[in-house]
Structure 1
Amino acid sequence: MTESEQSSAHPRPSRTINRNPDAMPPLAKAIPLGLQHIMAMFAGNVTPPIIIAGVIGASAGEQIFLIQVALFVAGVSTLIQTIGIGPIGARLPIVQGTSFGFLPVALPLAKAFGLPAVLGASFVAGLMQVVLGAFLKKIRHWFSPVVTGIVVLLIGITLMPVGLNYAAGGVGSEDFASPTNLALACFVLVVTIAVHQLGRGFIKASSILFGLVAGYLVAIALGKVDFTHLTDAGWFAVPKPLEYGMEFSLTAITGMVLIMFVVGLETIGNISAITTGGAGRAAKDRELSGGVMADGVATSFAAVFNTLPNTAYAQNVGLITLTGVVSRHVVTIGGLLLIAMGLFPKLGGLVAAMPHAVLGGAGIVMFGMIASAGLKIIQECELDQRAMLIIAVALSLGIGLPAVEAISETMPGQAGLLLKSGLVPAAVAALALDAVLPGKPSRQPPERRDATLTTSESANR
């Protein structure tokens, strides 16, 4: 066999950055590109464990541990997506991270039952998401854009008070809503907006991280940062599984499983956006199915390692579309960097020392963007009388029930907890109405819709 024949029989991996997810750029380019992905998702990944730590009254050491495991789990989960295990994994440049989507349900559950019940419910929800991925083609029609968009919109709306409470200094703090805390949060907000509007490339994509760093430095200058616990944190430690154990509550499992379906649909949207905007083609069935199953495996794995569910990060999808780098190997490098960061508790201690007001300034943007993403999804459907009726009922329940806590307090047993956030009854109402109301529009197959979108975009270019 000649050299050329050998080359054609065993083609070498591409060394160019192109629209092929299997392309392998040189390490000199791949490492900074992987680091760029970590910068884009870092703030979002560590914020949920900090919030949940505040709800359960975690000590400074426990907060450092929760940040450490969040980084470690995100790295491992990212590798499951990019490298894959059998049918599990999209084998696309998907960055996994701690999900904000579960917070509106996880927070009241953690307050009522404790973190072990949230972890047990997350473990079950992850297994259910694996099943969802396996049967994705058969049940995807249940979740129209109006249903998905309403739930994503309500996730953002529900989290907005959390961001503002942090901006004021954290509920229960002695200087809550002090001028210093509010000014610090506003400073982070202004820096984030300025960097987003004036920056380019990864700087624009990492605007929240820049806002946090700037706010952190100002807080240090003002003497509002306590590094006492940072000195107690170890330099190297392997995260311990089942540190908090697991408890299985039917109420907690019900709430987490319902939200899992919505988060799974977000993953479907992110995968489609990667292949359409980055690779210039529609997502394949095995990529969608494998990606959702990997999301489920990551969520159960996260529960074993004491942290909240994981999901595909949309900000990294935007980064891929912006840079045009679709190499999954670049994101694999980013996943390895996350694992390395998760092995050093000092880093978690550095993040845990960040004042709540700094985090709140970024939270105002992050949670508002979630609501904006929900509005964007709703725009995909025709806003006729049928769709507006579904939106009206779901929003009334989702926003009204948390505002009138007396209703949830009168519910028998633990059912009131599912009503307290408003998100679960709103999601159930949207699903039920969309299923039973006549006139549901027929949906294009995702492959055809994505292909049409790609063709129209090419024509515009």
Structure 2
Amino acid sequence: MTDTSIGSPAELRDPNYTPPLAQAIPLGIQHVLAMFVSNVTPAIIVAGAAGFGFGSNSPDFPQMLYMIQMSMFFAGIATLFQTIGLGPVGARLPIVQGTSFAFIPIMIPLVAGKGVEAMSVLMGGILVGGLFHFCLGFFIGKIRFALPPLVTGLVVTMIGLALVKVGIQYAAGGVPAIGTEEYGSLQNWTVAMVVVVVTLALKFFTRGMIAVSAVLLGLIAGYIVAMLFGMVNFGNVGRAATLALPNPMHFGLEFSAAAIIGFCAMGFVSAVETVGDTSGITKGGAGREATDKEISGATFADGLGTAIAGLFGALPNTSFSQNVGLIAMTGVMSRHVVTIGAIFLIVCGLIPKVGAIISTVPIEVLGGGVIVMFGMVVASGISILSDVAWSRRNMVIFAIALSLGLGLQLEPGALQHMPGTMKILLTSGILPAALIAIILNLVLPAELSAESTEEVSGGMS
């Protein structure tokens, strides 16, 4: 999709270059299309886990609409922090921010079945976690040694594994439908599979903006099929307001140890992801390494965007990796192109009818989309792990961290006697796996003796 008529090669590699508006606006909207579904999905998942409900009869349904709106609005605000900057905040690079999937395994146990009352605890954790994330910007470059691909790849893989169950539940009819006759019906799976098949077809057999927007177009195809089955209700769209502003302290703030520890720990993971995305953008778009100032600025923007989002009832923000690949594909490094996309997101976030339209998407359609997206998270983790030198030492670290992390996630009842805070943190699977991998990577000698790993390797020979 690189178009040399947009500018010279030197201009295309310059973050400060602004292409003509006729090209800049479509390029900016393309960035929004690449991340739009992934950006609003966490709000729907968390609202559903809390029990807000997906139908217009649910008393908490307006709260889900608000969370969808704020996902768009604060993704735009956080993106502006990155592209335009505010003092030391922002990398001044074309980094797209959005609501992070990484925090979902932490958020679901905090709100599961507790309704809107639980959201204040969530927002307190998001605020403190965002401030902690911001502070990481002062020294993030100095602690990267503790986070080799073995650790980061494991964490990303664990995030994906923690989410795949949600995708299957949604495709089958959603958590509220579990145990009913409708759950897992042929109709539900037909709608979900239309999304998967169309997404794959467009991703691999088309190019350009269509390929980039494959998930979005797959959801539209599933949505059309759902309409034919009579599964779509537009009742809320007409009743939605034309304009609504963000509401400070919308859910209130309440501080709990579990939420604060969880969000601070995942903020650390998110900061590492942002460092990787920043480096990917400068390498893919400009053929150079990211500077320390760019990395710290990107981390500052990540944390500040998350903290402000928490004050207004929105979820944590992080850099979006899919947009890194988009920059490498288009060859346009302009941060002003992404600024246009950010403005588009902000405008959408101020119009409740946009959120109302999104809320009409049946859960089965969303399930098809998240099966693809969450699977890609796992695949991304495996891709990172492919850079690991698989010595016996690294195999032992990975094996122990994965076994304990995934095991606790699959069998939370094993921790029934633990205090509530510890139980929430450990059953996420991600935090224990990350902590074990980091500690073992730092304390184990560079090479374990052959005898110390004989039992591990013996069964594989």
Q: Normalization by structure 1: what TM-score?
A: 0.91
Which residue of the other structure, out of 120, 123, 144, is the alignment partner of 1:119? 123
- Tell me the equivalent position of 1:337: 344
Which structure 2 residues correspond to residues 12-31 of structure 1 after superposition, within 5 A? 18-31=12-25
Q: Hey, what's the Cα distance between the residues in 1 that align with 2:375 and 2:141?
A: 32
Query: Of the candidates 10, 20, 31, which is equivalent to residue 37 of structure 1?
Result: 31
Superposition map of 1:111-190 within 5 A: 111=112, 114-173=118-177, 174=180, 175-190=182-197
1:271-290 superposed matches below 5 A:
271-290=278-297
The reply on whether 1:107 has 2:114 as its aligned counterpart is no
Moved over 3 A (4+): 14-17
Segments of structure 1 that go 5 or more residues without pairing to the other structure are 1-13, 442-461
The yes-or-no answer on 1:291 pairing with 2:285 is no
Residue 247 of structure 1: aligned partner: 254
Q: Deviations over 1:234-281 (max 9, x none)?
A: 011112121101111011111111111111111111111100011111
Partners of 2:38 and 2:170 in 1: how far apart?
A: 15
DSSP-derived class of the 2:288 partner: coil
Structure 2 counterpart of 1:47, from 41, 48, 52: 41
Aligned mates of 1:307, 1:134 — CA distance in 2: 25
Supply the distance in 1 between the matched residues of 2:348 and 2:88 (Cα, whole angstroms): 28
Q: Identity over aligned residues, as a percent?
A: 48
- Counterpart residue type for residue 116 of structure 1: S
Distance 1:233 1:61 in 2: 9
Give 1:455's aligned residue. Answer: none
Cα deviation code 1:402-439 (max 9, x no counterpart): 22222121213431111222111111111111111111
Q: 1:258 aligns with which of 247, 265, 277?
A: 265
The amino acid across from 2:165 in the alignment is P
Matched, 1:301 2:287: no
Q: 1:97 is aligned with what amino acid?
A: G
| 2:213 pairs with 1:206 | yes
Offset at 1:97? 0.4
Name whichever of 413-422 and 302-311 sits farther off.
413-422
Single out whichever of 417-426 and 84-93 deviates more from structure 2. Answer: 417-426
C-alpha displacement of 1:60: 2.2
Deviates more, 1:224-233 or 1:242-251: 224-233
2:392 is equivalent to residue 385 of structure 1: yes
Counterpart CA distance in 2 for 1:313 and 1:440 is 35
**Paired residue total:** 428
* Corresponding residue number in structure 1 for 2:458: none
Tell which deviates more after alignment, 375-384 or 30-39.
375-384
2:257–2:421 Cα contact (<8 Å) kept:
no
2-structure distance, mates of 1:398, 1:213: 36
Q: Is the 8 A contact 1:60 1:229 kept in 2?
A: no
1:40-61 Cα shifts (integer Å, max 9, x gaps): 1100001000001101122321
Task: Provide the C-alpha distance between the structure 2 equivalents of 1:404 and 1:381, rounded to a whole number of angstroms.
Answer: 29
Distance across 1 between alignment mates of 2:315 and 2:420: 25
Match of 1:452 in 2: none
8 Å contact kept, 1:408–1:417: no
SS of corresponding position for 1:134? coil
Please give the alpha-carbon distance, in whole angstroms, between the structure 2 residues aligned to 1:414 and 1:68: 30
Structure 2 residue aligned with 1:352: 359
- Once the 2 structures are TM-superposed, how far is the Cα of residue 15 of structure 1 from its aligned partner? 6.2
Counterpart secondary structure, 1:94: coil
Per-residue displacement from partner, 1:154-198 (whole Å, max 9, x unpaired)?
000000000110011101225211110011101100000000001
Which one-letter code corresponds to 2:92 in the other structure?
A: R
8 Å contact kept, 1:123–1:299: yes
Counterparts of 1:385 and 1:317, CA distance in 2: 33
Q: Report the RMSD for the aligned CA atoms in angstroms.
A: 1.5
8 A contact 1:202–1:319 mirrored in 2: no
Contact 2:141 2:295 in 1 (8 A): no
Structure 2 unaligned segments of length 5 or more: list them. 1-5, 53-59, 449-461
CA distance in 2 between partners of 1:63 and 1:440 (Å) = 51
Within a 5 Å distance, the mapping from 1:75-94 to structure 2 comes to 75-94=76-95
1:219 deviation in Å? 0.9
Report SS of the residue matched to 1:21.
Answer: coil
Are residues 391 and 71 of structure 1, via their aligned partners in 2, closer, same or farther at CA, if it must alter by over 3 Å? same
| Paired amino acid for 1:165 | Q
Deviation at 1:440, TM superposition (A): 7.7
Superposition TM-score, scaled by structure 2 size: 0.91
